[in-house]
Chain A
Amino acid sequence: MTPGYDLKRVDFIFQDESDWKEILQKSLGRPSAELINELISSELKGRGGAGFPTGFKWKLAADELNPIKYIICNADEGEPGTFKDREILTKVPMKVLTAMAICGYVVGSHEAYIYLRGEYFFLQPALNKAIQEFQATCQELNFDFRINLFMGAGAYICGEETALFESMEGKRGEPRNKPPYPTSFGYLGKPTVINNVETLAHTYTIFKYGAKRFYDLGVQYSRGSKLFSVSGDTPKPGIYELELGMSLLDFVHDFGDGDTKAVQVGGASGFLVPQKRFAETTIGFQGKLTGISLPTGGSMMLFNSSRSMYNVLDNYLEFFREESCGQCTPCRVGCQQLLNGIKAVKRGEKNALYLDKLLRLTETMQYTAKCGLGQSVANSFSSIVENFREEMIY
């Protein structure tokens, strides 16, 4: 899509869900290979941030021979600036439960969990009620499937899939080495499909309307629509479903306050895009041939010219330092050193060239940290320091 077009608003996710029983029954009556092919041809990619093709994930788990398998809905939603998953679980919980059950049918699993972040404890009663109603229908349909709610306890890192398994197993939320991947060795060492809340909600749309309706939205490598959590300096903060592949310039035209200096795409672990790059940046998954394409869990934070980018970076680094699980040295010590380092430069105790040393440290973290948290600190650090170097110093 070239800049200058209006953003395309989409209304799939929050569309009425009262037909969930029908969708469930219809899907359980189809061969599982057909359902997998439907998902694969929709080209749906995971909406939790990493963008793994959902159809292939289900297929990998379906091909495993283990009689015990698990389905997990990742509702840990901790990335700064992200608040869409709660909205889905509040407004259309039946879509998510239906999708989990269809996934269970496809891969051959009878046990599922929703891992809900502790901060959303207040959702528990409503969600339990929805689960009860859903279970009753599964029984009516003679479909052996149980869904349990598991509460997190205030740790961002538990959104990382293997840390989430550790947490459910009653341990510290410390990420595992990958491989093995969850589809072969997940919760309790069993084959596990773990999907983001929004990913599951999109599969409902695909099973309802067929792959084409979904595939026809978006651009190459980034099909369909996506929920965006919009916050910061904008006259209309909130949750919006938009077609993928939009240009950041058009986004800012629609959501900015007329004075947008930069947009942080993808939360603290994402990238800061300065105004001069808005036109060449599109929002979607990587693999696009022209311009820069950013994958995203959907967090869009806008900053206007009154904001200090130093304060923004300082805030992100404090977040990472606190949320690092501390298991590996590059991340544990790296986050501390980056935060101390920019403070020292700001106070004039270190000269500006020290920033280049810190940039090299983030590169090292990118290659040596064990999981996505430590690896992604480089994203916001380098994009902020390189584009707003003066603000780091003066």
Chain B
Amino acid sequence: MVAVLELIDNLAGQYGRDRSSLLPILQGVVKQENYLSEYAMIEIARALNLPAAEVYGTATFYSFLEYKKMGKYLIRICKTITCSMKGKNQVLMAIEDMLKIKVGETTPDGMFSLLQTNCLGFCHMAPAMLINFDVYTDLTPEKVREILSGYLNKKGGADDTRI
């Protein structure tokens, strides 16, 4: 892991300093930092020679570019119609119960954040969720408890599922 400033410089070197590199750079920062801090957005603006407001305005448009501090593992559960019909709420309750957080919150130890998201494209295996970029489908309360236990056990370990 490198410091944000160095990371931005590396990303700009890799993708170029045109405006069309903005999304890949923002994504690169989110990949390492889990979110875009104000500092990071200002530095990206500087690197691409753009007004900071433009960077902020663009970043906040996209739901996968978080601009609030997020946990190491970001859970996004699909709330669109088929997942809702197939028991999303029970799964959500199991997660909330186990992690003691509500939708939109992060656990005090900074490990998990919980969000709802729109159609993930796994309606035929509903309900579905993402943890960072890993997909989990055909969820039930039991299954989701098992999955989270797996994450809790490796908590603090060196591994990271972000690809």
Are A and B physically bound partners?
A: yes
Residues of A whose CB lies within 8 Å of any CB of B are 77-83, 86, 117-122, 124-125, 150-156, 167-173, 188, 229-233, 237-239, 268, 301, 307, 311-312, 315-316, 319, 322-323, 325
CA of A79 to CA of B80 in the docked complex: distance in angstroms? 10
Q: How far apart are A192's CB and chain B's nearest CB, in angstroms?
A: 14
Which residues from B are CB-within-8-Å of A81? Answer: 81-82, 119, 123
Any chain A CB within 8 A of the CB of B107? no
Which residues from A are CB-within-8-Å of B20? Answer: 168-170, 188
Q: How far apart are B14's CB and chain A's nearest CB, in angstroms?
A: 13
Which residues from A are CB-within-8-Å of B119? Answer: 78-82, 156, 319
**Contact status B121-A316, CB under 8 Å:** no
Chain A contact residues, majority secondary structure: mixed
CA of A172 to CA of B54 in the docked complex: distance in angstroms? 9
**Contact status A153-B26, CB under 8 Å:** yes
Give 1 or 0 for each of B94-137: 1 = CB within 8 Å of chain A CB. 00000000000000000000000111111111100010011100
Residues of B whose CB lies within 8 Å of any CB of A are 18-24, 26-27, 57-58, 61-65, 79-82, 84-85, 117-126, 130, 133-135, 163
25 contacts between A and B (CB under 8 A): A78-B119, A80-B81, A81-B81, A81-B82, A81-B123, A82-B121, A119-B130, A120-B121, A122-B133, A125-B163, A150-B23, A151-B23, A151-B24, A153-B65, A154-B65, A170-B20, A172-B58, A229-B124, A230-B124, A231-B124, A237-B125, A307-B85, A315-B80, A315-B81, A319-B118
Which residues from A are CB-within-8-Å of B19? Answer: 169-171
Q: How far apart are A260's CB and chain B's nearest CB, in angstroms?
A: 14
**Contact status A155-B123, CB under 8 Å:** no
CA of A77 to CA of B134 in the docked complex: distance in angstroms? 18
CA of A171 to CA of B26 in the docked complex: distance in angstroms? 12
Which residue in A168, A229, A316, A322 is a CB contact (below 8 Å) of B123? Answer: A229
CA of A280 to CA of B100 in the docked complex: distance in angstroms? 51
**Contact status B118-A238, CB under 8 Å:** no
CA of A239 to CA of B123 in the docked complex: distance in angstroms? 11
Which residues from A are CB-within-8-Å of B57? Answer: 172
Q: How far apart are A121's CB and chain B's nearest CB, in angstroms?
A: 4
Which residues from A are CB-within-8-Å of B23? Answer: 150-151, 153, 167-168, 170
Contact A154/B64 with A80-B80, A307-B85, A322-B118 known, Cβ cut-off 8 Å: yes
Which residues from B are CB-within-8-Å of A120? Answer: 121
Task: From B19, B82, B121, name the one whose CB has the most chain A CB atoms within 10 angstroms.
Answer: B121
Q: How far apart are B42's CB and chain A's nearest CB, in angstroms?
A: 16
**Contact status A122-B82, CB under 8 Å:** no
A-B contact sample (10 more), CB < 8 A, given A170-B20, A170-B21? A80-B82, A80-B123, A117-B121, A119-B64, A122-B135, A151-B24, A153-B62, A155-B61, A171-B58, A231-B82
